[in-house]
Amino acid sequence: MADAVADTRDWQGWRTVLWLGVVSLLVDLVYEGARSITGPFLASLGASALTVGLVTGAGEAAALGFRVFSGPAADRTGRYWRWMVIGYALTAVCVPLMALAPALGAAGLAFGAAMVLLERTGKAIRSPAKSVLLAVAARNVGRGRGFGVHKALDQTGAFLGPLLVAVVVAVTSHQWAGLLVLAVPGAVALGVLAWMHRYVGDPQHEHVPAGAPLVALPGTFYVYAVACSLTTMGLMTFGVISFHLVNEHLVTAAVVPVVYAAAMGADALASLGTGFAYDHVGGGTLLLLPVVVAFVPALVFTDRVGLAVTGVLLWGAATGVQDSTVKALVADLVPAARLATAYGAFAAFQAVAALSGGALAGWLYDGRRDVLVVAIGVAQAVALVLLLGVLVRRRHRDKGPTGPG
């Protein structure tokens, strides 16, 4: 009987993980398709490298920073599903609207930048709630596996989206057309989400009642957040990377989405592999992340296609780990009732790092790329030390006062 109950819980968990993954697949097809050409698209509207770096960096900061508000709000209300739907709807609407920017003349760049920021804000609104629902659904199947499988489905969309955009741009010779076609998968995603809410249901999760005292997040969590923010800073936005690829004539604007799709393929494989490894090996799996990030700028910002593409693939792999397995450890560090709050606070640290990384890369790109490579390398060394400290403290905590010495 106990085995039957466990099997039922596992199936319910996997069902929710898989359907959340399908929704993410469709929405990632939309916004990753757009992100694959954001750099060249903004450049076509008159943006400089610094402007691209600031806009895309600010976009990532919005995607991360606003979670410090949406996370606690989701915990307070317990309406995780509603927050998730609103966020997905913003992405489904704002990405196709970017296609209007070229028709707006001098206002096109401001409008395009605004749509980038609004789309990223939509991600901020949905992400803490989605992460909580995913963490709850995956607790019976292994959080590393749950986050890894979800991310693999998520990145399947991230792989297909840039390819779709590449085909449309190649056929029409218009980048705006590649953005407009993304309205279709966005509409399908919202339909699937509505079906899922009706037939799959909302996982039950303990939330903080209104007026109840808040339990403080542990200090180890904040150290971990700082370590991961340093890796985020090293993973400058693809807008800057794609600007470099086109600016140095390494690839054409039409080929950039294909390179991005390859990075998303590496993203999916890395998230799936490290997710399963996390459940078997533990948090030590994450020690590889800052090492990989340290190599990215040294390879990407070269004038050789092979090295640059290799750097992009490593960037994709590191991004996959950063957005999947890293979150599994967050769920293991904080109280269940503060999980959305923790994801929001965690993202706030990453927001500052994303904005700093984008601005730093855009500022140093033109004449001081060697300084950029060294700065990111030093940041990753610090991140590695902090991460080691977190893992050691967690191991001691799990052993408890009566554990072996």
- The C-alpha atoms of residue 234 and residue 157 are separated, in whole angstroms, by 24
Q: Which residues contact 277 (CB under 8 A, 6 or more apart)?
A: 144, 285, 325
Residue % of the chain over a pLDDT of 70: 90
- The C-alpha atoms of residue 59 and residue 52 are separated, in whole angstroms, by 10
DSSP assigned state of 37? T
Better pLDDT: 140 or 11: 140
Structure tokens that stand for 172 in this block? 């029409």
- The C-alpha atoms of residue 52 and residue 239 are separated, in whole angstroms, by 6
Is residue 383 predicted with pLDDT exceeding 90? yes
DSSP letter string, 331-386: HHHS-GGGHHHHHHHHHHHHHHHHHHHHHHHHHHTTT-HHHHHHHHHHHHHHHHHH
Phi, psi of 384 (to 5 degrees): -65, -45
For domain 2-203+216-399, give the CATH superfamily. MFS general substrate transporter like domains (1.20.1250.20)
Better pLDDT: 237 or 127: 127
DSSP assigned state of 284? G
- The C-alpha atoms of residue 252 and residue 263 are separated, in whole angstroms, by 17
Is residue 2 predicted with pLDDT exceeding 70? no
Q: Is the pTM of this model over 0.75?
A: no
Q: Which residues contact 339 (CB under 8 A, 6 or more apart)?
A: 75, 131, 132, 135, 205, 330, 331
Mean pLDDT in the chain? 82
Of 146-150, 316-320, 349-353, 398-402, the least confident: 398-402
Is 77 strand, coil or helix?
helix
Query: What is the CB neighbour count within 10 angstroms for residue 2?
Result: 6
The residue-averaged pLDDT of 153-157 equals 82
DSSP assigned state of 103? G
At residue 5, the pLDDT reads 41
At residue 403, the pLDDT reads 42
Q: 255-281: per-residue pLDDT in tens?
A: 887 888 888 788 888 888 888 888 888
C-alpha torsion angle, residues 2, 8, 13, 16 (rounded to 10): -170
Is residue 90 predicted with pLDDT exceeding 90? yes
CA distances to 23, 32, 35, 286 from 66, rounded to whole Å, are: 22, 20, 19, 25
Residue % of the chain over a pLDDT of 90: 22
- The C-alpha atoms of residue 187 and residue 308 are separated, in whole angstroms, by 35
Where does the pLDDT of residue 8 fall: very low under 50, low under 70, confident under 90, or very high at 90 and above? very low
Write down the residue that tokens 């693999």 correspond to.
152
Is residue 197 predicted with pLDDT exceeding 60? yes
At residue 94, the pLDDT reads 94
Is 12 strand, coil or helix?
helix
